[in-house]
């Protein structure tokens, strides 16, 4: 099969599934789910996980080949987010950061007013910034303009499992974005992930859809296949939508005509 890798911040990736590491029933199920998903990138909530790589810690148990994507989950101010990113870089030795700047504790929607200047400052500090944002093409463009390596619009509220609520706006983002678009938040089923890739997303990031499933390992495998199917379908090219029926069999040469 033709190489279908993509690049973020100079890093080439083959898997288009990013996986979170929070909320699993136990460490063994987490590690098995990560392996089953085929992911190359796992996210870590820096404010909620120990960064000490002592024996038995998550960092000690994860496959060293995985790319770590620390995130600033729980941060409500630019100062908190920047400090958390700097702590992650020092502890983990990576410039990558998923920038989460929460503007509302009930909806967990991002603070778009402060998101762009915070992303700008992190980029200037040498970070590869992947910001969690709304599916607003203007905000996504501004994040790309300040140097973000990708944009990560939500499909629906974090952990809601509602899937892609506004595909039309997401498609606007996809058409205009000069950087990869990674769907983040709200995915509930593998079919949601397939749809994201069919629409043109470079990848999807999910956590709860796997960690809270009845069988997280099986669900991780299902998402792996779903992402591969969505990407293959996108490359294959769907038939056009029509407002009328069109027979699949030829009309000429029918018996009795």
On whether the CB atoms of residues 243 and 59 are closer than 8 A, the answer is no
Quote the CA–CA distance of 202 and 119 in Å, as a whole number.
20
98 is catalytic: yes
Quote the CA–CA distance of 195 and 229 in Å, as a whole number.
9
Spatial strand order of the sheet with 41-45 comes to 152-153, 128-133, 96-99, 67-71, 41-45, 17-20, 203-206, 182-184
What would the two tokens of residue 125 be?
């500090």
On whether the CB atoms of residues 218 and 210 are closer than 8 A, the answer is no
Burial group, residue 242, by CB count within 10 angstroms (0-12, 13-18, 19+) = exposed
Residue whose C-alpha is closest to residue 98's, from 22, 165, 197: 22
Quote the CA–CA distance of 50 and 245 in Å, as a whole number.
58
Catalytic residue among 16, 89, 98, 221: 98
| Residues assigned a catalytic role | 98
């Amino acid at each position: 099969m033709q190489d279908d890798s993509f690049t973020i911040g100079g890093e080439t990736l083959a898997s288009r599934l990013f996986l979170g590491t929070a909320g699993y029933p136990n460490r063994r199920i987490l590690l098995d789910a990560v392996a089953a998903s085929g992911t190359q990138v796992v996210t870590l909530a820096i404010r909620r996980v120990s960064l000490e790589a002592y024996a038995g810690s998550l960092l000690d148990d994860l496959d060293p080949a995985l790319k770590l994507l620390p995130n600033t989950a729980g941060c409500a101010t630019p100062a908190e987010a920047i400090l958390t990113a700097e702590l992650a870089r020092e502890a983990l030795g990576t410039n990558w950061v998923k920038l989460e700047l929460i503007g509302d504790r009930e909806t967990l929607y991002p603070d778009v007013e402060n998101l762009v200047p915070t992303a700008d400052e992190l980029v200037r500090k040498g970070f590869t910034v992947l910001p969690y944002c709304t599916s607003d093409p203007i905000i996504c463009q501004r994040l790309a303009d300040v140097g973000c390596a990708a944009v990560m619009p939500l499909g629906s509220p974090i952990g809601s499992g509602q899937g892609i609520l506004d595909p039309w706006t997401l498609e606007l983002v996809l058409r205009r974005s000069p950087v990869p678009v990674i769907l983040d938040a709200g995915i509930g089923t593998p079919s949601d992930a397939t749809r994201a890739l069919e629409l043109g997303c470079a990848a999807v990031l999910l956590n709860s859809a796997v960690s809270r499933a009845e069988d997280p390992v099986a669900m991780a495998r299902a998402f792996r296949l779903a992402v591969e199917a969505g990407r293959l379908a996108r490359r294959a090219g769907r038939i056009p939508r029509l407002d009328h029926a069109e027979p699949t069999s030829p009309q000429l040469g029918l018996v009795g005509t």
